[in-house]
Structure formats: structure tokens, C-alpha cells
């Protein structure tokens, strides 16, 4: 009996399917965890930048409102002084010589006060202009930092065809170039349908309409080289639209999209999870006569 069992163990085929399935499950789980970590980090970084921009913009807006209130108050006082000065001049014209002299002194005092108010008003206007310039500069810096961060996370911007070829050689994303004329009709490029509505060669900006997953979107006054990011539900990374050339009633650029969608990155999990285990054949019963040879088991 012991010889029979040893022989059966040597002839029983190995079944590597369990090891292979575990390996694929581990790879898929690791990929999902890495993708989730990247998505969480990207979202947190974007939310932090947007919060900084919003806070500084609200602070600058409050300062501008205060300065405008002070200017309105000074303007009201200036109008009151002007009206009083005009009334005093009219009354002095009808009075005698002593009255005219007194009115002249009063007019000199009012004129000095008027000059002081005008000087204060000019200072307030200078402060308001400086604050507005600071707001514009801060907003531009934060938007530039936000765009640069997005570019670092999702790839560089190609400003020429040669640079686009270099990005294509990386093999990380799919790139589709286009030369789009101004029209109300939509044309498909990659996963998007685009329609150019306006091209401003003087200010290097454009208006673009898009159809994304049966939804129509519009982007107005987009600058040259400014990426447009489209977030779709099934994409691991956003789709990118870049215009790198603006002509009269025509623009040129490209659409950059992830090579695979989320649903395409995890198809191997379904067959493995639904795989039916193969039952091992039952061992043959030993012969009644110990001298008879053992029956041979077929190889699986």
C-alpha cells in the first residue's frame, strides 16, 4: 500500500493555476492601490492650490471694497465743499466790500480744504490702483503655478509638431493632431468632438465648443498654449486639448488622452474570479490481488 501511494503521488500532475491566479490578483491589487494613491495625491494638491487662490482673491476683493468706500466718502465731501464754495461766491457777489473781503477769506479757507481733499482722494486712488495690480499679479501667479503643477502631473505641453513627436515616443498617452477651421459643425478628434467658434489672432485666444460623453461644453477666451482639461468618469487621467497655433478663422493643436480607460485596465480580474476549480481525480482502488500491477492514471 505504501508503494502504491508513493507511486500515485509521483504520477499526480502539478496544478500551477492557483499560483498563477494569486500572482495576477496581487499585480492587479498593487496597480489599483498605486492608481488610487496618485488620484488622492493629485486631488489634494489641486484642492490646496484652489483654496489658496480663493483665499487671496477674497482678501484682495475686501481691500478693494474698503478703498472704494473711502473714495466714495471723499467724493461726497468734495461735492459738499464745492457746493458750499459756489454758494459763498454767489452771496459775496451781492454783498458790500467788507462782506466781499470776509467772503474772500472764507473762500481761501474752503479752497485750502478742497485741495487737501483732492490730495487725499488722489492718494486713495493710487492705493486702489496698486491693490488692483497686486490682485491681478497674485491671480496670474497662482493660475500659472496651478497650470504648471497640472503639466508636471499629466505631461508636458507640445508647442510644435516636433515636440509632439517627442511626447508620442514616450508611449504614455495617445496624441491626435488637428487643424480645425471655424464652423458650427463638430469634428471628432480622439475621444472628443470639437467646433471652433472664434479665433482672435490679435490677443492669441479662441472660443471652443466640445462634445464629451454626449454633453456639450464651451470654453471661451482660452489663451494660446493653455491646456483644456476634460475629466471623464472612466479615465485614469484627464483628456487634454492644446492649441499651439492660431490663424484667422483656424486653429491647430492636438488632443492627448490616456492609452487605456479604467475599465480596460482590470479585465483580467473577471476570468480569474469566475474560474471553476478543477477537481482532482479520485485515486483508483487497490487491486484485490497484491501481485497484480497497479492501473496507470492518465496524465491531466
Q: Return the pLDDT at 270.
A: 45
Query: In the predicted model, is pLDDT for residue 173 greater than 50?
Result: yes
**pLDDT over threshold 80, residue 117:** yes
Q: Of 42 and 130, which is predicted with more confidence? A: 130
**pLDDT exceeds 70 at position 102:** no
Q: Which of 112, 111, 119 is nearest to 89 (CA)?
A: 111
Measured distance CA(54)–CA(292) in Å, rounded: 90
Instruction: Give the residues across from 243 on adjacent strands.
Output: 253
CA distance 216 to 239: 15
Residue 293 scores a pLDDT above 50: no
What letters, b where the CB count within 10 A reaches 16 and e where it falls short, cover 84-120? ebeebeeebeeeeeeeeeebeebbeebeeebeebeee
**Residue 70 grid coordinates:** 473711502
Strand partners, 51: none
Please check whether residue 187 is in contact with residue 209, taking contact to mean a CB–CB distance below 8 angstroms. no
- Name residue 199's beta-bridge partners: 206
User: In the chain, at which residue ranges do the beta strands (DSSP E only) sit?
Assistant: 173-181, 187-189, 192-200, 205-212, 215-223, 228-230, 239-247, 250-258
- Nearest-angstrom CA–CA distance, 248 and 198: 9
According to the model, what pLDDT value does residue 279 have? 47
The mean per-residue pLDDT over the stretch 108-134 comes to 85
CA distance 215 to 225: 24
Confidence of residue 149 (pLDDT cuts 50, 70, 90): low
What digits encode the pLDDT tens for the residues 44-93?
A: 777 777 777 778 778 888 888 888 888 888 888 888 888 887 887 777 66
Residue 276 has pLDDT above 50, yes or no: no
Instruction: Tell me the pLDDT of the chain averaged across its residues.
Output: 76
Predicted TM-score of the model (pTM): 0.39
Q: Which of 145, 124, 138 is nearest to 73 (CA)?
A: 124
What's the pLDDT band for 269 if we cut at 50, 70, 90?
very low
7, 11, 43, 276, 299 from 14: Cα distances, Å = 14, 9, 47, 17, 10
Look up residue 151 and give its DSSP letter.
Answer: H
User: 114 pLDDT band (50/70/90 cuts)?
Assistant: confident
The architecture CATH gives domain 161-263: Sandwich (2.60)
Maximum Cα–Cα distance across the chain: 156
Q: Cα–Cα distance between 294 and 297 in angstroms, integer?
A: 9
Query: pLDDT grade, residue 299 (50/70/90)?
Result: very low
Question: Bigger pLDDT: 31 or 150?
Answer: 31
Q: What percent of the chain has pLDDT over 90?
A: 23
Amino acid at each position: 500500500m505504501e508503494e502504491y501511494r508513493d507511486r500515485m503521488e509521483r504520477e499526480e500532475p502539478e496544478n500551477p493555476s492557483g499560483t498563477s491566479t494569486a500572482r495576477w490578483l496581487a499585480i492587479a491589487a498593487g496597480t489599483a492601490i498605486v492608481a488610487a494613491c496618485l488620484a488622492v495625491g493629485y486631488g489634494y494638491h489641486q484642492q490646496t492650490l484652489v483654496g489658496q487662490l480663493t483665499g487671496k482673491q477674497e482678501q484682495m476683493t475686501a481691500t478693494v471694497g474698503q478703498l472704494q468706500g473711502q473714495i466714495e466718502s471723499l467724493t461726497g465731501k468734495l461735492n459738499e465743499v464745492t457746493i458750499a464754495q459756489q454758494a459763498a461766491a454767489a452771496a459775496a457777489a451781492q454783498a458790500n466790500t467788507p462782506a466781499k473781503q470776509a467772503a474772500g477769506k472764507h473762500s481761501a479757507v474752503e479752497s485750502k480744504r478742497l485741495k487737501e481733499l483732492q490730495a487725499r482722494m488722489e492718494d486713495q486712488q493710487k492705493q486702489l490702483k496698486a491693490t488692483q495690480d497686486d490682485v491681478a499679479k497674485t491671480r496670474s501667479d497662482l493660475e500659472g503655478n496651478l497650470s504648471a503643477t497640472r503639466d508636471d502631473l499629466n505631461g508636458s505641453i507640445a508647442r510644435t509638431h516636433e515636440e509632439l513627436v517627442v511626447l508620442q515616443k514616450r508611449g504614455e498617452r495617445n496624441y491626435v493632431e488637428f487643424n480645425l477651421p471655424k464652423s458650427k459643425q463638430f469634428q471628432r478628434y480622439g475621444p472628443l468632438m470639437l467646433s471652433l467658434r472664434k479665433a482672435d489672432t490679435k490677443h492669441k485666444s479662441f472660443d471652443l465648443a466640445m462634445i464629451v460623453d454626449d454633453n456639450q461644453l464651451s470654453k471661451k477666451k482660452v489663451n494660446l498654449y493653455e491646456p483644456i482639461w476634460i475629466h471623464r468618469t472612466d479615465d485614469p487621467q484627464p483628456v487634454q486639448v492644446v492649441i499651439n497655433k492660431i490663424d484667422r478663422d483656424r486653429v491647430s493643436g492636438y488632443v492627448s488622452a490616456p492609452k487605456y480607460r479604467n475599465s480596460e485596465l482590470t479585465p483580467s480580474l473577471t476570468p480569474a474570479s469566475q474560474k471553476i476549480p478543477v477537481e482532482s481525480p479520485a485515486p483508483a482502488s487497490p487491486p484485490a490481488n497484491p501481485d497484480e500491477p497497479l492501473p496507470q492514471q492518465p496524465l491531466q
